[in-house]
């Protein structure tokens, strides 16, 4: 008679903390970058796709402001709208890089490309 040993692995997602806390200073106050949730990632990806299709500068800026407001909820839409355009885009680039959105988007795109090139291995 043999006995089988059961091993358990445990991952405490509640205990995981971001490696670095990212903060920007605007209007004399510090604003923390919110960690990217799945819901925010999906919304940002949809907004990034709209950026390429934006028919007007106003539509493009509204999309950028939506994405930034998700990343920095303590910054008001009005504060974003009052920024110089160069600062707005610099902040967007910084936020996407810091919250992992750029990396995740590139990985999703690479996976999709791989699936297109090798349809027999796609799940």
pLDDT digits (tens, 9 = 90+) for 64-80: 999 999 999 999 999 99
- Does some domain include residue 102? yes
What mean pLDDT is predicted for residues 84-106?
82
pLDDT at 12 over 80: yes
7 occurs within a structural domain: no
Please report whether residue 91 resides in a domain.
Answer: yes
Domain containing 78: what range? 34-111
Residue 100 counted as domain residue? yes
Residue 102 CB contacts under 8 Å (≥ 6 apart), including other chains: 96
Top pLDDT among 94 and 19 is at: 94
Confidence tier at 87 by pLDDT (50, 70, 90):
very high
Helix axes 85-98, 57-71, angle to 10 degrees: 40
Is 72 among the domain residues? yes
| Confidence (pTM) | 0.71
What would the pLDDT profile of 24-56 be if each residue is shown by its tens digit?
Answer: 999 999 999 998 889 998 998 888 888 777 678
Number of domains in the chain: 1
Q: Which two tokens stand for residue 31?
A: 């604003």
Q: Which residue has the higher pLDDT, 115 or 52?
A: 52
Is the pLDDT assigned to residue 121 strictly greater than 90?
no
pLDDT at 111 over 70: no
């Amino acid at each position: 008679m043999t006995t089988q040993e059961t091993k358990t692995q445990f991952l405490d997602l509640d205990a995981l903390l971001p490696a670095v806390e990212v903060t920007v200073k605007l209007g004399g106050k510090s604003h923390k970058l919110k960690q990217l949730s799945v819901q925010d990632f999906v919304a940002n990806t949809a907004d990034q796709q709209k950026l390429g299709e934006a028919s007007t500068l106003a539509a493009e800026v509204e999309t950028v402001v939506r994405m930034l407001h998700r990343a920095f909820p303590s910054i008001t839409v009005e504060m974003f709208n009052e920024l110089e355009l160069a600062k707005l885009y610099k902040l967007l680039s910084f936020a996407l890089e810091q919250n992992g959105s750029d990396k995740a988007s590139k990985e999703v795109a690479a996976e999709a490309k791989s699936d297109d090139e090798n349809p027999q291995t796609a799940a």
